[in-house]
Amino acid sequence: MESVTLTYPDGDRRLTALDAVSLRVAAGELAAIVGPSGSGKSSLLAVAATLLRPDEGRVIVAGEDTARLGARARTALRRERVGIVFQQSNLLPSLTALEQLLVVEDLRGRGARRVRAARGRAAELLESVGLDGPVQRRRPHQLSGGERQRVNIARALFGGPSVLLVDEPTSALDHERGERIVELLAEVTRRHRTATVLVTHDHGLLGRADRVLSMADGRLAPPPHRPEARER
Ligand SMILES: Nc1ncnc2c1ncn2[C@@H]1O[C@H](COP(=O)(O)OP(=O)(O)OP(=O)(O)O)[C@@H](O)[C@H]1O
């Protein structure tokens, strides 16, 4: 993101949610963003995901300047290049863990044979995030909060994204489970070479990030006290 400004309508005026924000995240890098409620963290992710267009500035995803793309091309870029893990697990209640990944394949119109071929890949991916055989056949209500978040992460990775955007992945988890999810995110970032942006309130979880930035009033800055960075 280069000098990105985003405003929302606010009565007669406009509220500046992002104020000339620049952020460059490399493949295989985990950047964490901390900041108080309302500081603009979710807005930053929405712009990075190309879900919102900025008023000013450029958003470049995997080398592609998204401002140049029409709506369809932008949707395609998002689908193919961007993985998103939301704050709340938004899994489909009637589908098993494995099917949560495959339904995306279905929606992409790839046909039944491709879906069958994708099953093995989905199962492997779930295993790699710590969900093995029997757990893969459970539905969301039969999974723990941590397991649901693992399914979300696997689903976000399934399309082989360049960019992984993660919004408060630990808000529904206790500290220990939260830590394990952040560890997992660090691990998948290396393994899948994603440029990962993780937004969190929780300063305790930042030890695994390569870089920590703080957000205040729509501006991004390195935090005054930098938590110990992970050895690479
Ligand atoms: N759709 C919207 N319309 C108008 N204002 C909005 C909209 N979405 C967010 N805002 C405002 O923009 C600012 C930034 O909001 P944002 O959700 O990005 O913050 P955040 O840091 O993610 O907060 P939280 O940690 O509470 O999720 C806030 O002042 C918020 O009230």
pLDDT at 177: 83
Structure tokens at 117: 């071929």
Confidence band (pLDDT; 50, 70, 90) for 160?
A: very high
The SS3 of residue 153 is helix
Neighbours of 104 (CB within 10 A): 16
Looking at ligand 1, which atom is closest to the CA of residue 18? 14
Average pLDDT over residues 178-199: 93
Query: 165: which strand partners?
Result: 84, 197
Q: Is the CB of 223 under 6 A from ligand 1?
A: no
Q: What does the chain come to in residues? A: 232
> What is the β-pairing status of strands 195-200 and 64-65?
unpaired
pLDDT above 50 for 101 = yes
pTM exceeding 0.80: yes
Average pLDDT over residues 75-96: 88
Q: Is the CB of 37 under 6 A from ligand 1?
A: yes
The structural architecture, per CATH, of the domain 2-221 is 3-Layer(aba) Sandwich (3.40)
pLDDT above 80 for 37 = yes
CA of 56 to the centre of ligand 1 (A): 18
Whole-number Å distance between alpha carbons of 158 and 141? 22
Average pLDDT over residues 37-62: 94
Domain residue spans of the chain: 2-221
CA of 129 to the centre of ligand 1 (A): 31
Atom 18 of ligand 1, residue of closest alpha carbon: 40
Whole-number Å distance between alpha carbons of 81 and 73? 12
Lowest-confidence region among 2-6, 31-35, 93-97, 103-107: 103-107
Tens of pLDDT, residues 116-134: 778 899 999 999 999 998 9
